[in-house]
Amino acid sequence: MTSSPNPHRLNASVRSGRIDRARAIDCTVDGRRVRGHPGDTLASALLACGITEVGPSIHRGRARGVFTADCTEPNALVQRLDGCPEPMLPATELEIYEGLEVRTLSGVGWLSGQRDTAGYDKKFVRSDVVVVGAGPAGLAASLVAARGGARVMLIDQHRELGGTLPDGQAHVSGHPATEWVGRAARELAENENVRILTRSVALGCYDHNYLLVAERRAEHLPVWRSSGPRQRLWHVRAGQVVLATGAHERPLVFADNDRPGVMLASAVRSYVNRYAVLPGREGVVFTTSDSAYATALDLLSCGARVPAIVDTRAEPPARLVEQVRAAGAQVYPGSVVTAATGEPGVTGVRIAGLDGNGSLTGTPVEVGCDLLAVSGGWNPAVQLFAQSGGTVRWDPVVAGFVPDSPGGRSARVVGAARGTYDLAGCLAQGFAAGAEAATVAGFRVAPPAVPQVDGDRPVGRPRPVWAVPDESRPRRECTEHFVDLQRDATVADVHAATETGMRSVQHVKRYTTVSTGVEQGKSSGVNTIGVLAETLAASSPGEVGTTTFRPPYTPVPLALFAGRTRGPLYDPVRTTPMHTRHEQAGAVFEDVGQWKRARYYPKNGEDMETAVLRECAAARTGVALQDVSTLGRIEVVGSDAPVFLDRVYTNKFSNLPVGKARYGVMCGADGMVLDDGVSLRLAEDRYLMSTTTGGAAKVLDWLEEWLQTEWPKLDVYCTSVTEQWAAVAVVGPDSRTVVGRLAPELDVSAEGFGFMRFAETVLRNGVPARVARVSFSGELAFEVNVARWYGQALWDAAMEAGRDLGITPYGTETMHVLRAEKGFVIVGQDTDGTVTPLDLGMNWAVSRSKDFIGKRSLSRPEMLRADRKHLVGLLPVDGHSLLPEGAHLVDQRAPRRPPVPMLGHVTSSYRSAALGRTFALGLVSGGRERVGEVLRAPVGGTDIEVEVTTPVFYDEEGVRRDGAAQG
């Protein structure tokens, strides 16, 4: 055996192709070695090796072959196996490199379990003029805009500029068009105002000229050769956008139109001219318009036979017919291919006449072939235009959906993307749009004269055929007439959809799954619309309309959107000045907003439950301390600060004396609890408001909104000072001793330092501090605040001052238990935006004497209903059972047939060291009237019985906060 590795590669004297024959590249497809050259795609390399067939179809397992040479490929989808495995890559787009290893797929790939270690990054840029598509129209637009001095960005999917020009044989100014492309590329590359992105897909075109562009930077390189990011996502804000996105050729629908060897006519040209590959030696061409005649001529010029050109039109342009006849092809005008024959690959076609009504005439003839090039016409690539808000209409002259107003407000559409298929027209539109766009962007420039071209894409009116009638079967039985190769959907499927009563193309799409594959309707969409229009006897495909075009234009890995914002870079991490101390103490952390807070401090391999019981016991019987630096702090300053706080808090703050603190609740205008916290009055015109850790930014926004939009005349300024302070809560019966040692100048006695007072002092270590007697645990407690940079010194000093008393650091979990034992709520845990202060039983904090935001809502009838959910305590009857937070609560007697009436749910649930049992808080319908009732919490197939109680479980009299009672 001495066969060439590329038996279908054309001799360089016939077609040079855009490949580097001097170098060979070996890759592996389904375990077979495939040899190609730099410049090949995987599809062209496969075809050069004589491999037409790829993976079988998704549902029916039918043999399929390479069908296109672009991103509309429905069949040749592969899973990359080298590097990080990646699914569903079109072989027609995949550039080969040494070591590439793939498996062909049957319409479904798989996600790798591996971590993708490749780099992905993002760039954010502005540009005066962005041109999408570097075919003749796009190049022309870029050239002119750049000559005007505009900053131009030219984006193209392919390795090389030129669009489809390298696929054809056109001439510009008497020279091959590829030379014109080369000159244009050089001129653009030499202009420093121009950025050319090749191998880059404009994924989406959004409002106000915002584009997302996925640039493949290293995918065509073996892993070991790539450095830097594999892909880059460009966020582009454009002054003006020119869309020169080209057009996609439509397949044709006939019996067994899915056989390997059936290929788009334009793809055949691409393989012959760009890749120097001859996909077949006997090629029948089946067309509805002029463009496929060039395919026939290309095949003939490469030594292939063209036994038949089947044209749906009764009178194809005489010039074309003469041209192909002279080259040796036979034309069948007014005819169709009714069926491809052969299995699995095409070995012939059946040709019959098609009368003016679209019915078959005469006796079908059989013609042998190994390649069937089909052209059902062209679909302008209007995806980006439609995404950016443009509407499309059916144009019967070009037989395609075209932009309704191609010179619209946002994007200008030029060339094939608006149904202009002749080279001169594309250049003229490109020059004009480039000049216009640059001029509007502030760079006045006039379009140049269009050079002399010899048209490669002649224009004659097409005769589209949406589905060739079957020789014997009615439509409902056309189960081998495929409209969507990737989804194995047929004319019979579309027919069945209409039989069920569906009329909308959107419904038919979802019912049949047509155009839901990776090609997203680029090849299947319009044929389906055409078939549907005929089935529904609509006047034109325009009457049916299109489905919605949505980004991304082609599939894109999610990793690209993540970019570098993965892992620790996903979100900023905020830590307190004492963070290293928590780490040293072995803390387990939890995320609270962006903060890392110590959750608990396990000792000697304790689990969370044991550690929390120990920490709770320390706080209730000895002394414990917590880092509370993360609490939000906002300074509210100005002569109207008291008035303002009276309006935003449900309770009064104007009568709070300087030097004292008060707990406050704020509501939305709807009366629902928004946030809570303690505010200190530092001076007549100055408050220090504290917020929940997660609510700080939201509360500041809220205050600003009211100040700016409703009460701009109030003299109030709000400043976030969260980051200026570090704070430690010292909690427990022994906390007075510890704080007394820590702040020797401070009178910490019960008489000298009352509850809800604060004082300025200097700590023993010389650090100025503000100490407040506030308590979120019900115990005697002091909150010591210092300037942030003293945070660690404060922590160390407090630990030192309490060492002989066994001072115990505690985390958020213990804090949660301690406050829940006292029935203190956590906004966002025990509330969820549907809970009012009255629901929480906080009538004491709701002023009757003044208005506040949300007050009027509290008297709406809905708020006064007896069955509103109230905050209650919940005690599992079996004191060992721990209720899961979120568990539903139902009536004991309620039948368990859905829908079971839900009375409420558990919001917080813990084990209590102080109570020696489990307990919970919950929201229960009419809960305050149910105290003493036993409800059930269905959990994992069994019920937990719970008794409804008041929400305060511990020290109901509140004697412990002054340290009076010793535990």
Partner 1 sequence: MLLIRCPWCGDRDEVEFRYGGQADVDYPADPERLDDTAWGNYLFVRANPLGTLTERWVHTAGCRRWFSVVRDTATNEMSPDIPSRRESR
Q: Which residues bind partner 1 (CB under 8 A)?
A: 206-210, 235, 237, 389, 409, 669-670, 701, 704-705, 708-710, 851, 855-857, 860-861
698 or 928: whose CB is closer to partner 1? 698
**Smallest distance from the beta carbon of 545 to partner 1, in angstroms?**
18
Q: Environment class of residue 895 by beta-carbon count within 10 Å: exposed (0-12), middle (13-18) or buried (19+)?
A: exposed
Shortest approach of partner 1 to residue 412 CB, angstroms?
17
> In the numeric block, which tokens belong to residue 117?
């270690």
Q: What is the largest CA-CA distance in the chain?
A: 115
CB of residue 708 to partner 1, shortest distance in Å: 5
Task: Calculate ∠ Cα 921-924-926, nearest 5°.
Answer: 130
Please state whether 582 falls in left (phi above 0), alpha (psi between -120 and 50) or beta: alpha
Q: Minimum distance between the CB of residue 346 and partner 1, rounded to whole angstroms?
A: 48
Nearer to partner 1, 237 or 473 (CB): 237
Q: How many helices (H) and strands (E) does the chain have?
A: 20, 50
864: which residues sit within 8 A by CB, 6+ positions away? none
322 φ, ψ to 5°? -65, -45
Q: Judged by CB, which is closer to partner 1: 389, or 396? A: 389
Q: How far apart are CA 921 and CA 816, in angstroms?
A: 11
b/e sequence 497-510, b meaning 16+ C-beta within 10 Å: bbeeebeebeebbe
Residue 838 Cα to chain centre, angstroms: 41
Going by DSSP bridges, is the β-strand pair 53-54/152-155 parallel, antiparallel, or unpaired?
unpaired
d(CA 935, CA 888): 10
- Tokens for 518, please give them: 């990776």
The DSSP code for 32 is E
Residue whose CB is less far from partner 1, 458 or 563: 563
183: which 2 tokens?
């000159």
Given the complex with partner 1, which of 207 and 751 has the nearer CB atom? 207
Q: Least distance to partner 1 from the beta carbon of 634, Å?
A: 13
Phi/psi-derived region of residue 316, left when phi > 0, alpha when psi is between -120 and 50, beta in every other case: beta
Nearer to partner 1, 686 or 698 (CB): 698
DSSP 928: G
Which one, 719 or 724, has the nearer CB to partner 1? 719
Q: Decide whether 577 or 695 has the Cβ nearer to partner 1.
A: 695
Rounded to a whole number of angstroms, the minimum distance from the CB of residue 670 to partner 1 is 6
Which residue, chain included where needed, has tokens 């562009």? 213
The C-alpha angle 818, 823, 824, rounded to 5 degrees, equals 75
Measure the N-to-C terminal CA separation of the chain; round to a whole number of Å: 96
Q: Indicate the residue among 442 and 768 with the shorter CB distance to partner 1.
A: 442
DSSP assignment string, 669-728 = TTS-EEEEEEEEEEETTEEEEEE-TTTHHHHHHHHHHHHHHT-TTS--EEEE-GGGEEEE
| Residue among 150 and 727 whose Cβ is closer to partner 1 | 150
Least distance CB 208 / partner 1 (angstroms): 4
> Minimum distance between the CB of residue 504 and partner 1, rounded to whole angstroms?
21
Task: Produce one character per residue of 268-300: b if its CB has 16 or more CB atoms within 10 Å, e if not.
Answer: bbbbbbbbbbbbbebbbbbbbbbbbbbbbbbbb
**Which residue lies nearer to partner 1 by CB, 203 or 491?**
203
CB closer to partner 1, 479 vs 594: 594
What are 130's strand-pairing partners?
Answer: 153, 241
| CA 340-343-344 angle, 5° bins | 110
Q: Minimum Å distance from CB 572 to partner 1?
A: 13
The side-by-side arrangement of strands in the sheet containing 77-80 is: 32-36, 25-29, 101-104, 77-80, 86-90
Q: Could you tell me the smallest distance in angstroms from the CB atom of residue 336 to partner 1?
A: 43
Residue count of the chain: 967
Please report how close the Cβ of residue 240 comes to partner 1 at its closest, in angstroms: 13
Q: How far is the CB of 494 from partner 1 (least distance, A)?
A: 32
Helix (H, G, I), strand (E, B) or coil at 551: coil
Q: Tell me: cis bond preceding 403? Omega within 30 of 0 counts.
A: no
Taking the C-alpha atoms of residue 514 and residue 76, their distance in angstroms, rounded to an integer, is 18
Please identify, using beta-carbon distances, which residue of 355 and 851 lies nearer to partner 1: 851
Q: Of 572, 576, 565, 520, give the one whose Cα is nearest residue 546.
A: 520
Q: Which residue has the tokens 């700590």?
A: 763
Contact status, residue 178 vs residue 461, Cβ threshold 8 Å: no
- Cβ closer to partner 1: 322 or 704? 704
Cβ proximity to partner 1, 838 vs 906, nearer residue: 838
Q: Which residue has the tokens 């020696």?
A: 916
Amino acid identity for residue 777 in this structure: S
Q: Cβ 169 to partner 1, closest distance in Å?
A: 42
Tell me how far, at minimum, the Cβ of 633 lies from partner 1, in Å.
17
Cβ-based nearer residue to partner 1, 649 or 782: 649
CB of 551 to partner 1, least distance (A): 12
Minimum Å gap between C-beta 176 and partner 1 is: 42
Count other Cβ atoms within 10 Å, centred on residue 112.
Answer: 15
Q: d(Cα 572, Cα 268) in Å, to the nearest integer?
A: 52
Using the minimum distance from each CB to partner 1, give the nearer residue, 413 or 742: 413
103 within 8 A of 79, measured Cβ to Cβ? yes
Closer CB to partner 1, residue 501 or residue 861? Answer: 861
* Beta carbon of residue 212, minimum distance to partner 1 (angstroms, whole number): 9
383: three-class secondary structure by DSSP: helix
Cα distance between residue 662 and residue 679, in whole Å? 6
